[in-house]
């Protein structure tokens, strides 16, 4: 190693490297916020959930009472959707499937999976009957 004394020279900054475009992968924060989607989802088969396939498009009737439901997915993502109180649990499943987060794997919906798990097995219950107005619904195995 050799050290040079350059006290009598002016400082020259090293040349800057040219800027590079972003090379990483992006992640989307939040989730789908609109309640209508045209992508049809697949409905997992199950004994208590084989009533009818979920709708591929959700229509909101603004003349009827509307509520927001927060859906916490199994992978940790969160979605907020608007539903009429007359929509069913099956419509919530259809929304999840249409968003691409339901996949073809079978899953269950719960209202509180940690303290007192209350599975939403009856897909024919309306949101009002199930007590899901302004609620949080969890996706689980």
pLDDT tens track for 70-106: 988 888 889 888 999 999 888 888 888 888 766 556 8
pLDDT attached to residue 68: 92
The answer to whether residues 50 and 30 touch, using CB atoms and an 8 Å cutoff, is: no
What is the mean predicted confidence (pLDDT) over 111-136? 82
**Sequence-ordered list of residues with C-beta below 8 angstroms from that of 18, at least 6 positions apart, any chain:** none
Q: What is the mean pLDDT of the chain?
A: 75
Is this prediction's pTM over 0.75?
no
Q: How far is CA 75 from CA 69, 72, 79, in A?
A: 18, 8, 12
Give the neighbor-by-neighbor strand order of the sheet with 78-84. 78-84, 66-72, 136-140, 108-110
pLDDT of residue 61 exceeding 80 = yes
Domain annotation for the chain: domains and CATH numbers: 30-141 (3.10.20.90)
The residues, any chain, with a CB within 8 Å of residue 133's CB and separated by 6 or more, are 67, 85, 127
Q: Using the predicted structure, report yes or no on whether residue 45 has a pLDDT greater than 60.
A: no
């Amino acid at each position: 190693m050799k050290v040079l004394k350059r006290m009598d020279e002016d400082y020259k900054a090293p040349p800057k490297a040219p800027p590079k475009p972003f090379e990483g992968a992006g992640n989307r924060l939040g989730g789908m916020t609109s309640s209508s989607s045209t992508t049809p989802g697949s409905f997992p088969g199950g004994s208590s959930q084989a009533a009818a396939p979920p709708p591929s498009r959700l229509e909101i009737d603004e003349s009827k009472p509307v509520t927001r439901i927060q859906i916490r997915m199994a992978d940790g993502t969160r979605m907020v959707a608007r539903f009429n109180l007359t929509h069913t649990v099956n419509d919530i499943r259809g929304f999840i499937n249409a968003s691409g987060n339901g996949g073809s794997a079978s899953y269950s919906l719960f209202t509180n999976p940690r303290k007192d798990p209350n599975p939403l097995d009856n897909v024919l219950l309306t949101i009002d009957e199930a007590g899901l107005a302004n609620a949080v619904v969890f996706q689980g195995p």
